[in-house]
Each structure stands twice: as structure tokens, then as C-alpha cells.
């Protein structure tokens, strides 16, 4: 057809003075424009991949994804599944935490195994009755800050990052704060920290827990802070510090944020939506 529009001349050719759009990628003699030697279509978004681990600019071969991206997806998915399914090595974790200078206690939730934990989230929110009784006997006069380490949905995150984060927390806590032994909890949901804190009469409980894995982050650690913990606390009554890992929030920054929130919680007697994280602001004292 010989019709013309404002962008193209007759038969779809570019109008005079308007350059032909270029296609990235090598095109040797006899090669089709836009294809490299492997047949993979060149992608002008590929530079963005250096800025994020998100699954973008994957490219294509014909109507399909490149083989390397199909394999990479399978590998990432397998890592995420492993993070959820694998149990926590509580004994090894206890040794690493004790090497920092903390004493430890171990408890488990009412979920008898990993399958029950995944199928019944409610069981992961309550302590095994025997563990609850043992904590009651150890409560004494209570404590100011209780640190709990729970496997959550990624035991890999806990094993890789929790000891290093605890070491940073230990360097920053106020000397006057009374700390209880670190409690290692298996088959734990976030709310399990509420009952542990209630049994040990803690003013504050911070639970370090493995977050739900993603395809680019199978080992992300989170911290949830709750004032006056007790069974039945709502998520809106907690503060969350998320994505603690070398590729996300640095250990030192996560510990700094936690200790700052603890100070403010002691000051205002609450956590959650009423306590805003301003830990990144610089304190300006009187001149």
C-alpha cells in the first residue's frame, strides 16, 4: 500500500529526515538484524539487570524464554523451597550464639514437625505446654529485652545471619538493660515471641525470624519488636525490620534500628503503628 502518515512515507518507509530505528546486537554477514549468533533477540533493557535482582529483561528466543533463564528460574525456585522445607539446626545455632557471649534456651511450638507447621500456622504461634512451663520457672524478676531467634519460613536465613546480627545488637544495647538468655524457637511463627515474652515477663520482645523466601531472596531475615508481649497481640502492635542480609539491609544497620526502636518503646511504652522509625535521622542536641 502506498498510503503515507506523518511518521512514514510511501509503503511504510521512514519519512525524509527521520532516521531508521537501530537494533542492538551484532549482525554479521547473512545474519538477521536484531539476532546474535545464538539466535537470542537483543534486549535494550539488559542494562537494567545490573541495578536489581528482579526478574526483568530476560530476553527471548522466538516465542520462548532463553534456556539459561528457564534454568535460573528452576534453581531459584528450588532454593526457595529448600529454605522453607529444611529444619533448623538448633544445636549448631546455639553454639554460634553462645560464642558471642549470650546464654541460650531452646523451645518449640505446638507444631510437631515441619509439615504440620506449614499446614497449621496457628500451631506455630503457641508454645509447646512443657516448654511454656519451663519458661515460667525461669522467669524470675523478668527482663527488659528478650531476644528470640525463630526459624520461621527460612531456616537458611537464621543460620546465615542471626548470629552476626546478634553480635551487632550486643554491641549497641544499653548497659542498664536486663537481658534474658536468647531463646531459640523451632517451628516458630512471629506471634510465638509474644507467649515466650509473656512467660519470661519481658518488657520488650524482639524475634529474629526467617522471612518468606522469594525467588531472589531465599535467606532474608526479619526482626519483629513488640512492647508488653502477651498472647493475642496484633500485627499492628509490632515494628518490623525486614530484609536483613548482605544484599539487603546491613547487619549493623538492622541492629542500630532495633536498638533505636527499643529506646523509643521504653520512652513511649508502646510499639507498632504508633511508633515511627526515625532511626535514620541525625539527633541534634542543644547548642
**pLDDT over 60 at 7, yes or no:** no
Does domain 85-268 correspond to CATH entry 3.40.50.720?
no
Question: CA of 85: how far to CAs of 64, 154, 186, in Å?
Answer: 31, 8, 13
Model-level pTM greater than 0.85?
Answer: no
**What is the C-alpha separation between 15 and 12, in angstroms, rounded?**
9
Q: Is 220 helix (H, G, I), strand (E, B) or coil?
A: coil
What backbone phi and psi angles, to 5 degrees, belong to 221?
A: -105, 140
Give residue 48's pLDDT. 75
Q: Residue ranges of the domains in the chain?
A: 85-268
Give residue 59's pLDDT. 77
**pLDDT over 50 at 26, yes or no:** no
> How does residue 27 score in pLDDT terms, banded at 50, 70 and 90?
very low
What backbone phi and psi angles, to 5 degrees, belong to 17?
A: 85, 0
- CA 161, 249, 224, 234 dihedral sign is negative
The predicted model gives 270-282 an average pLDDT of: 89
The C-alpha cell of 68 is what?
A: 539459561
Q: Which residues pair with 186 in a beta bridge?
A: 108
**pLDDT over 50 at 161, yes or no:** yes
Average pLDDT, the chain: 85
Amino acid at each position: 500500500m502506498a498510503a503515507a502518515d506523518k511518521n512514514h512515507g510511501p509503503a511504510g518507509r521512514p519519512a525524509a529526515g527521520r532516521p531508521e530505528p537501530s537494533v542492538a546486537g551484532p549482525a554479521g554477514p547473512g545474519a538477521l538484524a536484531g539476532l546474535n549468533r545464538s539466535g537470542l533477540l537483543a534486549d535494550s533493557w539488559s542494562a537494567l539487570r545490573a541495578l536489581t535482582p528482579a526478574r526483568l529483561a530476560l530476553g527471548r528466543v522466538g516465542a520462548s524464554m532463553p534456556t539459561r533463564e528457564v534454568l535460573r528460574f528452576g534453581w531459584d525456585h528450588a532454593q526457595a523451597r529448600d529454605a522453607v522445607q529444611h529444619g533448623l539446626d538448633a544445636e549448631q545455632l546455639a553454639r554460634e550464639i553462645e560464642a558471642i557471649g549470650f546464654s541460650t534456651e531452646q523451645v518449640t511450638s505446638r507444631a510437631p514437625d515441619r509439615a504440620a507447621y506449614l499446614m497449621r500456622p496457628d500451631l506455630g504461634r503457641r508454645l509447646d505446654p512443657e516448654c511454656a512451663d519451663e519458661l515460667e520457672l525461669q522467669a524470675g524478676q523478668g527482663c527488659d529485652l528478650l531476644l528470640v531467634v525463630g526459624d520461621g519460613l527460612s531456616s537458611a536465613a537464621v543460620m546465615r545471619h542471626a548470629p552476626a546480627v546478634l553480635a551487632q545488637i550486643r554491641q549497641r544495647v544499653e548497659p542498664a538493660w536486663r537481658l534474658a538468655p536468647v531463646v531459640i524457637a523451632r517451628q516458630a511463627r512471629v506471634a510465638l515471641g509474644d507467649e515466650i515474652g509473656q512467660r519470661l515477663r519481658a518488657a520488650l520482645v524482639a524475634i529474629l525470624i526467617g522471612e518468606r523466601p522469594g525467588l531472589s531472596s531465599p535467606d532474608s531475615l526479619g526482626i519483629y519488636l513488640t512492647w508488653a508481649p502477651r498472647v493475642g497481640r496484633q500485627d499492628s502492635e509490632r515494628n518490623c525490620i525486614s530484609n536483613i542480609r548482605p544484599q539487603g539491609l546491613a547487619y549493623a544497620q538492622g541492629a542500630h534500628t532495633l536498638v533505636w526502636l527499643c529506646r523509643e518503646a521504653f520512652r513511649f511504652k508502646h510499639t507498632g503503628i504508633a511508633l515511627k522509625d526515625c532511626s535514620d535521622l541525625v539527633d541534634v542536641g542543644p547548642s
